A and B are shown apart, each in its own frame.
Chain A
Amino acid sequence: MKRGLLIWAPLLAFAVVFGFAARELWKPSDRTIASGMVGKPLPQMALKPLLLDRPGFTTAELATGKPRLLNVFASWCIPCIAEAPQLMKLKAAGVEIDAVAVRDKPEAVEAFLSRYGDPYARIGDDPRSAAQLALGSSGVPETFVIDGKGRIVKQHIGDIREEDVPEILAALAEAAR
């Protein structure tokens, strides 16, 4: 009786291995790296202004009592162009958006904003990705929803598409409560 059952063990082991392999083939694993800072207060940052016409910001200045977005972007980033219309829509909906400009030059950002729209209240200069790393962001663009007390409540990885806008507005509304 015992031997009879044992003879199935190799087949069972094979089925388990096959199952794992098949799952990975059909549903490739998620390679995005979510920030561990979501749910925590913003890390200490002090970003100098990149442009003359608007300020940079410090961590304390992001806690304004009203939820806002912190957009990690760069003028050299192609998906950032794709998300620009959505940021403009969010701005039109009354959302305040600040930006971390990763490894960028003022003239390049000016050209980018005049071409694709300018949704930013403040733009902080992040020449060595230090703020980006402090936020736990691993690429551009990424968008963080910050509540009124300066806590990160949500991270959106990649460009904001049209279908993502309601989710972000909902997160902002949730943070305002």
Chain B
Amino acid sequence: MRLRHLIAALLAMIAVPVLADSALPPAELAYSQLKDPAKEAEARKLMETLRCLVCQGQSIADSDAEMAGDMRALVREKIAEGQQPAEVRKWLVERYGDYVTYDPPFSWLTAPLWLLPLLLIAAGLLIARRSFGKSDPTIEGEEA
């Protein structure tokens, strides 16, 4: 019984994840830049703020996943057509939610991220003032 567990554990160590990848080559614009450098720069800047949906921890500019490649191709195509980066972002957010962007808009959901540090600093200042500020004669009297 124990040996079987050991074998299973050893096998698990050499297991490789099954990568579900298609047999088709990457889209044309997945790995090649746009001819117009200004548009490529725009597209690049946008791609760095878009989350890869499969790998979830990388931007589509960083990811080698097939879907990230297809998303890059989509972004480059739309930018080449003359769409503004904000439009392309909106198109994707409409489909995948704020999740798809690394630059989420300010909303009630994200408000604590921005406001909490300010509140904590304010609380810290208040505590510091009470501790180190004007000495309270009554407390000093007690200490003495």
| A interface residues with partner B (beta carbon < 8 Å) | 31, 33-37, 74, 76-78, 102-105, 108, 127-130, 132-136, 138-140
B23 CB-CB contact with A under 8 Å: yes
Q: Dominant SS at the B interface?
A: helix
The segment out of B7-15, B39-47, B67-75, B79-87 that lies at the interface is B67-75
| 13 A-B contacts (beta carbon < 8 Å) | A33-B100, A35-B95, A35-B96, A37-B95, A74-B22, A76-B22, A105-B23, A128-B70, A129-B66, A130-B70, A133-B70, A133-B71, A139-B54
CB–CB B74/A138 < 8 A: no
CB–CB A103/B18 < 8 A: no
| B interface residues with partner A (beta carbon < 8 Å) | 18, 20-24, 27, 53-54, 56, 66-67, 70-71, 73-74, 92-97, 99-100
CB–CB B53/A103 < 8 A: no
Q: Give every chain B residue within 8 A of A35 (Cβ-Cβ).
A: 95-96
CB–CB A136/B23 < 8 A: no
Q: Dominant SS at the A interface?
A: loop
Q: Give every chain A residue within 8 A of B56 (Cβ-Cβ).
A: 31
Q: Can you name 6 extra interface pairs (CB under 8 A) apart from A104-B23, A134-B95, A136-B94?
A: A36-B95, A104-B24, A128-B73, A133-B70, A133-B74, A133-B92
Q: How far is the CA of A45 from the CA of B126 in the complex (A)?
A: 59
CB–CB A33/B53 < 8 A: yes
- Which of B21, B27, B66, B97 has a CB less than 8 Å from the CB of A33? B97
Which B residue sits closest to A77, measured CB to CB? Answer: B20
CB–CB B27/A36 < 8 A: no
Closest 10 CB pairs of A and B: A136-B95, A103-B22, A129-B70, A138-B53, A128-B27, A103-B24, A76-B22, A36-B95, A128-B70, A36-B94
Q: How far is the CA of A35 from the CA of B21 in the complex (A)?
A: 22
Q: How far is the CA of A140 from the CA of B24 in the complex (A)?
A: 15
Q: Give every chain A residue within 8 A of B97 (Cβ-Cβ).
A: 33-34, 36
Q: How far is the CA of A134 from the CA of B95 in the complex (A)?
A: 7
Which B residue sits closest to A128, measured CB to CB? Answer: B27
- Which of B23, B71, B73, B96 has a CB less than 8 Å from the CB of A36? B96
Which A residue sits closest to B21, measured CB to CB? Answer: A76
CB distance from A176 to the nearest CB of B (A): 26
With contacts A33-B53, A35-B95, A36-B96 known, is A138 near B24, CB below 8 A?
A: no
With contacts A35-B95, A36-B95 known, is A105 near B24, CB below 8 A?
A: yes
CB–CB B20/A76 < 8 A: yes
Q: How far is the CA of A78 from the CA of B73 in the complex (A)?
A: 25
CB–CB A33/B99 < 8 A: yes
Q: Give every chain B residue within 8 A of A78 (Cβ-Cβ).
A: 18, 20
